């Protein structure tokens, strides 16, 4: 007795070898029918004995291809059509596409074997890939995901590749970016006056150059890297100088996991992240001395090779630890187009290893850490973007524009929330252009109609993202307060729309309800009902507003105006004149704003401990303080009392000044400050949860990138009957804001609607 069923599979099921997998499964169970890529996922029609159909569905769920991620399998009985065999049909187009675009994948084991097999057609070919691996988001120009819609469209398949492409039993069946040395793109090396090297030897020559201490720009998946030998101090210093990157740490690419273990201490969690399909940069405690690579931090960012070219480079003898940093000058976005890269990097790179396959869009390496509460994403880009991070209970398309620093945007289509790659700081013109492009890109890829769209943006009237929002043709628009968005981002990741929680947002800067600069806010509520502010950091005056974020001593002026302080212009404090000027501004109320920012409180403590210069990247002073604190083993903490809805920073800062005057070791002071902040937060959380009858505490905002703070909180809260939730799928910094905006927008929880 024959029966028939149709199966619809949703999730990341296109471009990951799903149809050949279905084909082979149908063959194995001797079933007839067909499979095709529909716009809502993979559609299967099956005919055969009922037991065969059941077994097929069981295996489909149990053993999908490695790169696939099944969100739902829908099986419905249907009429027999009398199919005689199983076939793979061409893609269907109707309505608008809701399939998910797969993030880029690292080269797989099978392809690596072929890459290093002298007898293989693709031996040494830097663009080898198959349905289980290779580029996706960085080559896709449109949907559905087929070769004419990728940056490989200009390279027609030769007979060999074509045969594999059409053979359902082959690993490259419908592998859209497939190619071989005979028909596909290649790499070439440009090294000053040197004759361009013949193909094959250019990778060897690049490895030589790196060994000689040169800086080489190397085209990767989502942009160019600047590479040099991480163990060659003069090369590293030359790179810093030419890149105008004074102190920000460089990431390292280690030849393999064994070399990575020589460089950093890898916990089991960190090791798993290092080897995960996203192949991110993993921050972990440094073991090796690499002068100049990551000055003044105990952590090192390490990743493993993920493209065939990177594997070839190491195999050809490149140094086993390479600095691999985004190719740009300081603060510019990563270069990804060849002409632009050659122009912008002319004074930085000694040579260029240029791949011919165009990059569809700029995608940086992602940065993660295995933290006290589980994995934390600090920069969400390659390997993660544009994957869906949450399923929303809403049909309406929503576009959320994020914040101005560490910008990302979120598009919700048919209830799937797609978060873009990290875009960067919108004050930078190139980043702003990338922001506009990404919005256009996502909206057109998913064929969302502007007159259908609900848009959300930050409340800050001067944010570029907010101003841009008003130029979009969205049907409806509203603003979402920055720190409420942080809290909502954690709940949205978990699909907790109605869960009431205490939301603690410790952050650098955000526009508050009253127009002041918030950043130490505690809320109670849910995404569905909105969040009410129930407590905050005691307010201080900030001279110069957001500009004070670059000068810790400038931020210090307003906070220290509230306590008695000694002369700070002399040792041990040595505050520069900027402090005196800022103090006068505070007194006279000139360009002075109110703030409750915990990020600034950390800056003040850092200034008191010796960080009196300008910061050269966001969050630097707080990171500096955390690193110093890690050197101490003392167990005391400074008082940071919570009363009447206010965390009072005055006793905390008084203690720092007192112990500094007593010449207590700065590491011990930093440690007692850090633990004091954690204890104050614990006290506020426990008190408020008790009064408001809550059992869940959500932590989000840039300050929670501070791992030592999370470790302290974990210890301090261990005995409390409270659930502690942090971000796992999007960053706790402003990179996660767009997801939170979308979540609150989905429930109409706007501050203001236009």
Least distance to Zn ion, CB of residue 304, Å? 16
Task: Provide the minimum distance between the beta carbon of 105 and Zn ion in the complex, in angstroms, as a whole number.
Answer: 8
Instruction: Supply the angle between the helices 598-608 and 620-629 in degrees, to the nearest 10.
Output: 60
Nearer to Zn ion, 158 or 711 (CB): 158
Residue pair 477/753 in contact by the 8 Å Cβ criterion:
yes
Q: CA angle 332-334-337, nearest 5°?
A: 120
> Which of 16/321 has CB closer to Zn ion?
16
| Cα 287 from Cα 273, distance rounded (Å) | 18
Closest residue by Cα to residue 188 from 386, 357, 344: 357
State the minimum distance, in angstroms, from the CB of residue 560 to Zn ion.
Answer: 59
Q: Name the helix (H) or strand (E) containing 44.
A: strand 41-49
The rounded distance, in Å, linking the Cα atoms of 317 and 413 is: 47
List, in order, residues 6 or more apart from 49 with CB less than 8 Å away: 1, 2, 3
Report the residue number, 147 or 248, with the smaller CB distance to Zn ion: 147
> ω into residue 144 within 30 of 0, thus cis?
yes
We find the least distance from the C-beta atom of residue 154 to Zn ion, in angstroms, to be: 14
Q: Which is nearer to Zn ion, 47 or 114 (CB)?
A: 114
- Nearest distance, CB of residue 183 and Zn ion, angstroms: 3
- Cis ω before 641 (30° cut-off from 0): no
* Contact in structure between 398 and 453 (CB atoms under 8 Å): yes
CB closer to Zn ion out of 164 and 618:
164
Cα 179–Cα 362–Cα 18 angle in degrees, nearest 5: 45
As measured in angstroms, the least distance from the Cβ of 175 to Zn ion is 8
Q: Which residues contact 299 (CB under 8 A, 6 or more apart)?
A: 249, 264, 283, 284, 285, 286
- Integer Cα distance of 672 and 665 in angstroms: 11
In whole angstroms, the minimum distance from the beta carbon of 449 to Zn ion comes to 37
Looking at beta carbons only, is 132 or 297 nearer to Zn ion?
132
- What are the beta bridge partners of residue 36? 43
Residues that bind Zn ion (CB under 5 A): 108, 111, 130, 132-133, 158, 161, 180, 182-183
Rounded least distance, CB 370 to Zn ion, Å = 27
* Nearer residue to Zn ion within complex by CB, 315 or 534: 315
Q: Which of 301, 359, 326 is closest to 217 using CA atoms?
A: 326
In the bound state with Zn ion, the residue whose beta carbon lies nearer, of 20 and 97, is 20
Residue 161 or 388 having the CB closest to Zn ion: 161
Report the C-alpha gap between 561 and 652 in whole angstroms. Answer: 14
Q: C-beta of 130: minimal distance to Zn ion in Å?
A: 3
Cα–Cα distance, 36 to 91 (Å, whole number)? 6
Q: Is 638 helix (H, G, I), strand (E, B) or coil?
A: coil
CA-based nearest residue to 209, from 305, 324, 313: 313
Q: At what angle do helices 18-28 and 50-62 cross, to 10 degrees?
A: 140
> How are strands ordered across the β-sheet holding 224-229?
187-190, 351-355, 216-219, 224-229, 321-326, 251-254, 299-303, 281-285, 367-371, 374-379
Residue keyed to tokens 């979402």: 480
Which of 174, 173, 179 lies closest to 161 in space, CA to CA?
179
CB of 63 to Zn ion, least distance (A): 18
Comparing CA positions, the residue from 620, 609, 601, 406 lying closest to residue 519 is: 601
Minimum separation from the CB atom of position 164 to Zn ion (A): 8
Query: Measured between alpha carbons, how far is 482 from 513 in angstroms, rounded to an integer?
Result: 10
DSSP run (H or E) holding 256: none
What are the counts of helices (DSSP H) followed by strands (DSSP E) for the chain?
21, 31
Task: Pick the closer one to Zn ion by CB: 309 or 411.
Answer: 309
Smallest distance from Zn ion to CB 538, Å = 57
Min dist. Cβ of residue 172 to Zn ion (A): 8
In the complex, minimum distance from the CB of residue 180 to Zn ion, in angstroms, rounded to a whole number = 3
Q: In this complex, which beta carbon is closest to Zn ion, that of residue 172 or of residue 499?
A: 172
Least distance to Zn ion, CB of residue 135, Å: 11
* Cβ-based neighbours of 742, under 8 Å, separated by 6 or more: 392, 398, 399, 400, 410, 412, 417, 456, 492
State how beta strands 251-254 and 416-419 pair.
unpaired
Nearer to Zn ion, 77 or 109 (CB): 109
Six-digit token string for 150: 């990728």
Least distance (Å) from Zn ion to the CB of residue 319?
A: 26
Our CB check for Zn ion shows the closer of 158 and 683 to be 158
Q: How far is the CB of 103 from Zn ion (least distance, A)?
A: 15
Q: Is 677:640 a contact under the CB 8 Å cutoff?
A: yes
Report the nearest approach of Zn ion to the CB of residue 136 (Å). 12
Q: Of the two residues 19 and 675, which places its CB atom closer to Zn ion in the complex?
A: 19
Residue (51 or 110) nearer to Zn ion, CB: 110
Give 43: exposed, middle or buried? Use CB within 10 Å, 0-12, 13-18, 19+. Answer: middle
Q: Which contiguous run of DSSP H or E holds residue 515? A: none
Q: What is the CB-side half-sphere exposure of residue 499 using CA atoms within 13 A?
A: 20
Angle (CA) 623 629 635, round 5°:
145
Nearer to Zn ion, 16 or 501 (CB): 16
Nearer to Zn ion, 161 or 517 (CB): 161
Q: Alpha-carbon distance 692 to 452, whole Å?
A: 39
> Nearer Cβ to Zn ion, position 68 or 345?
68
């Amino acid at each position: 007795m024959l029966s028939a069923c149709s199966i619809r599979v949703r999730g990341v099921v296109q471009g990951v070898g799903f149809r050949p997998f279905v084909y082979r499964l149908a063959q194995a169970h001797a079933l007839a029918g067909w499979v095709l890529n529909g716009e809502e996922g993979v559609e299967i029609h099956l005919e055969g004995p009922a037991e065969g159909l059941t077994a097929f569905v069981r295996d489909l769920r149990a053993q999908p291809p490695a790169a696939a991620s099944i969100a739902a399998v829908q099986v419905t009985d249907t009429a027999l059509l009398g199919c005689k065999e199983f076939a793979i049909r061409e893609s269907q187009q109707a309505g608008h596409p809701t399939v998910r675009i797969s993030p880029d994948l690292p080269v797989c084991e099978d392809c690596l074997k072929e890459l290093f097999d002298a007898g293989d057609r693709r031996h040494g070919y830097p663009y080898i890939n198959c349905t289980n691996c290779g580029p996706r988001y960085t080559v896709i120009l449109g949907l559905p995901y087929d070769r004419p819609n990728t940056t490989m469209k200009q390279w027609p398949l030769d007979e060999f590749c074509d045969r594999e492409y059409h053979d359902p039993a082959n690993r490259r069946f419908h592998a859209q970016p497939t190619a071989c040395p005979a028909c596909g793109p290649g790499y070439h090396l440009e090294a000053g006056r040197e004759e361009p090297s013949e193909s094959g030897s250019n990778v060897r020559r690049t490895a030589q150059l790196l060994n000689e201490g040169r800086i080489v720009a190397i085209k990767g998946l989502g942009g160019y890297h600047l590479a040099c030998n991480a163990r060659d101090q003069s090369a590293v210093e030359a790179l810093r100088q030419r890149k105008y990157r004074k102190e920000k740490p460089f990431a390292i690419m280690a030849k393999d996991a064994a070399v990575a273990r020589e460089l950093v201490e890898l916990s089991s969690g960190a090791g798993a992240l290092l080897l995960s399909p996203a192949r991110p940069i993993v921050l972990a405690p440094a073991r090796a001395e690499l002068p100049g690579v990551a000055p003044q931090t105990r952590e090192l960012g390490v990743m493993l090779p993920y493209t065939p070219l990177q594997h070839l480079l190491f195999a050809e003898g490149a140094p086993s630890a390479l600095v691999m940093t985004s190719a740009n000058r300081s603060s510019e976005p990563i270069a990804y187009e060849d002409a632009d890269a050659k122009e912008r990097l002319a004074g930085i790179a000694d040579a260029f290893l240029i791949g011919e396959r165009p990059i569809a869009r700029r995608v940086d390496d992602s940065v993660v850490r295995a933290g006290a509460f589980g994995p934390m994403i600090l920069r969400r880009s390659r390997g993660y973007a544009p994957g869906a991070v949450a399923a929303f209970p809403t049909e309406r398309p929503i576009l959320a524009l994020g914040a101005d620093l560490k910008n990302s945007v979120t598009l919700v289509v048919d209830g799937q929330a797609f978060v873009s790659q990290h875009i960067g700081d919108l004050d930078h013109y190139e980043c702003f252009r990338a922001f506009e492009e990404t919005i256009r890109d996502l909206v057109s890829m998913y064929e969302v109609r502007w007159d259908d769209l609900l848009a959300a943006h930050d409340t800050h009237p001067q944010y570029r993202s907010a101003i841009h929002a008003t130029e979009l043709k969205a049907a409806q628009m509203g603003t979402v307060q920055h720190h409420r968005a942080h809290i909502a981002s954690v709940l949205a990741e978990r699909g907790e729309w109605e869960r009431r929680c205490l939301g603690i947002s410790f952050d650098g800067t955000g526009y508050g309800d009253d127009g002041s600069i918030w950043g130490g806010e505690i809320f109670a509520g849910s995404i569905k009902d909105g969040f009410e502010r129930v407590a905050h950091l005691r307010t201080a005056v900030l001279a110069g507003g957001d500009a004070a974020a670059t000068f810790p001593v400038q931020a210090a002026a307003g906070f220290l105006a509230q306590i008695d302080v000694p002369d700070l212009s002399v040792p041990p404090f040595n505050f520069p004149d900027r402090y005196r000027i800022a103090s006068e501004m505070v007194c006279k109320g000139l360009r002075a704003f109110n703030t409750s920012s915990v990020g600034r409180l950390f800056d003040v403590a850092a200034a008191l401990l010796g960080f009196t210069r300008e910061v050269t990247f966001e969050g630097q002073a707080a990171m500096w303080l955390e690193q110093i604190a890690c050197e101490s083993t003392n167990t005391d903490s400074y008082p940071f009392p919570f009363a009447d809805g206010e965390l009072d920073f005055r006793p905390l800062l008084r203690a720092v000044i007192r112990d500094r005057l007593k010449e207590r070791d700065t590491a011990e002071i930093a440690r007692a400050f850090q633990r004091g902040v954690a204890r104050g937060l614990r006290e506020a959380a426990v008190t408020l949860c008790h009064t408001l009858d809550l059992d869940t505490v959500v932590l989000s905002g840039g300050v929670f990138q501070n791992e030592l703070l999370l470790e302290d909180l974990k210890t301090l809260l261990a005995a409390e009957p409270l659930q502690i939730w942090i971000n796992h799928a999007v960053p706790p910094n402003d990179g996660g804001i767009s997801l939170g905006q979308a979540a609150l927008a989905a429930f109409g929880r706007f501050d203001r609607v236009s």
